């Protein structure tokens, strides 16, 4: 079964509700159809919450939002065992993590113990409450937001957690024409129609995983990953402190397949890999302190790696 028409309808509905963010919507759909977790980086007020809610309604999925704060506890996310005096027993109360799409708003405002509570859920799709483990709903997708400009009252996300995010998507302001439309109230009060459901999402994921990808392209993905793990000189500076993990290679492969699928292709090409590469790798590459002092960031390192690794 082909889902081309429904996917186009979904894109149109999201673009009608979230004006001026076409690239963002394309990348978010890659994460959703691949069932990977997404980190959105932007200043406040760019419709991230609206996007997540609209997406959940369009896909007929459960949606919950957690506002991360410095006093948040792991039990506020996962749930806890609570004593019931009537039954003289412990009862499990499930937290908001038991949903399909979880919006983790301002995830970098919570301390490490709370962020780490998400690690098991994001990787294993299960959580442990007390002595028991519970499977999460399928699909389970975390859409987290982070303000990269904020410095007060925030905590850096640990590398282990950053590696759980399939994609990191920086948001930009809408163009002037789109902002005028926002002021004219043209996108408000639009009816959100259900377009796909969880069963169809799973079918799409299976179709994506079955897409043809040549062995030379897998070798290219591994070569890109290996290049991030080696000492490379940029402006006479050892640029890298930490490269990407094998999980990043898997995510890049799946993201490239999803990109090709969404563009109605029958196979994955090098251009598909390069389109999604910055969103998969940039947040996983740690520049050295010397590189940062020279103004060399993850994107510059990635550009250098792309130029060095031959395209098949």
Please write the tens of the pLDDT for every residue from 71-82: 899 999 999 888
pLDDT in tens, 165-222: 999 999 888 888 888 887 877 556 678 899 999 999 999 999 999 999 999 999 999 9
Are 226 and 80 found together in one domain?
no
Residues 268, 178 within the same domain: no
Structural domain contains residue 301:
yes
Q: Alpha-carbon distance 76 to 95, whole Å?
A: 6
200 in a structural domain: no
Name which of 307, 258, 293 is nearest 279 in CA terms.
258
Work out how many domains the chain is built from and give that number.
2
Same domain, 171 and 216: no
For residues 245 and 120, membership in a common domain is answered with no
pLDDT tens sequence across 252-296: 999 999 999 999 999 999 999 999 999 999 999 988 888 888 888
Rounded Cα distance, 294 and 152, in Å = 24
Q: Are residues 145 and 233 in the same domain?
A: no
Residues 182 and 54 in one domain: yes
Last residue of a domain, one of 195, 219, 248: 195
Residues 180 and 227 in one domain: no
- 168 HSE (CA, 13 A, CB side): 21
286 falls within a domain:
yes
Which residues form the domain of 173?
4-195
Q: Kindly list the distances between the CA atom of residue 64 and the CA atoms of 29, 73, 103, 161, 220, in Å, as whole numbers in the listed order.
A: 18, 17, 6, 20, 38
Q: Is 272 in contact with 218 (CB distance < 8 Å)?
A: no
Let me know whether 11 and 109 are in one domain: yes
256: domain CATH number is: 1.10.8.80
Task: Give domain status of residue 62, yes or no.
Answer: yes
The pLDDT of 85-110, averaged and rounded, is 89
Q: What is the CA radius of gyration of the chain?
A: 20
pLDDT at 141: 96
- Regarding whether 185 and 72 lie in a shared domain, the answer is yes
Q: How confident is the model at residue 149 (pLDDT cuts 50, 70, 90)?
A: confident
Residues 258 and 286 in one domain: yes
| E strands present in 42-170 | 63-67, 79-84, 89-94, 101-105, 126-129, 132-135, 141-146, 165-170
Together in a domain, 35 and 152: yes
Within this chain, do residues 223 and 137 fall inside the same structural domain, yes or no?
no
Answer whether residue 205 is part of any domain: no
């Amino acid at each position: 079964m082909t889902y081309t028409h429904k996917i186009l309808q979904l894109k149109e509905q999201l673009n009608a509700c979230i004006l001026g963010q076409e690239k963002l919507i394309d990348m978010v759909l890659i994460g959703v159809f691949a069932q990977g977790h997404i980190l959105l980086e932007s200043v406040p007020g760019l419709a991230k919450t609206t996007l997540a809610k609209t997406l959940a309604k369009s896909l007929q999925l459960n949606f919950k939002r957690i506002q991360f704060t410095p006093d948040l506890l792991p039990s506020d996310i996962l749930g806890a065992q609570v004593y019931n005096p009537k039954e003289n027993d412990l009862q499990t109360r499930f937290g908001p993590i038991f949903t399909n799409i979880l919006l983790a708003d301002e995830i970098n405002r919570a301390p490490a113990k709370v962020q780490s509570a998400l690690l098991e859920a994001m990787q294993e799709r299960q959580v442990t409450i007390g002595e028991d483990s519970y499977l999460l709903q399928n699909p389970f997708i975390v859409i987290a937001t982070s303000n990269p400009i904020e410095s007060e009252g925030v905590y850096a996300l640990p590398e282990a957690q950053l590696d759980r995010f399939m994609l990191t998507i920086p948001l930009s302001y809408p163009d002037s024409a789109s902002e005028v439309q926002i002021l004219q109230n043209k996108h408000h009060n639009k009816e959100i129609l259900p377009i796909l459901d969880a069963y169809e999402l799973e079918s799409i994921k299976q179709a994506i995983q079955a897409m043809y990808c040549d062995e030379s392209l897998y070798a290219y993905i591994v070569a890109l990953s290996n290049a991030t793990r080696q000492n490379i000189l940029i402006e006479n500076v050892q640029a890298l402190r930490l490269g990407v993990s094998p999980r990043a290679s898997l995510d890049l492969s799946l993201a490239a397949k999803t990109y090709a699928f969404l563009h109605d292709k029958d196979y994955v090409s090098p251009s598909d890999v390069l389109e999604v590469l910055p969103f998969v790798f940039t947040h996983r590459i740690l520049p050295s302190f010397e590189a940062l002092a020279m103004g060399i960031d993850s994107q510059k390192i990635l550009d250098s790696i792309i130029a060095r690794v031959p395209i098949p």
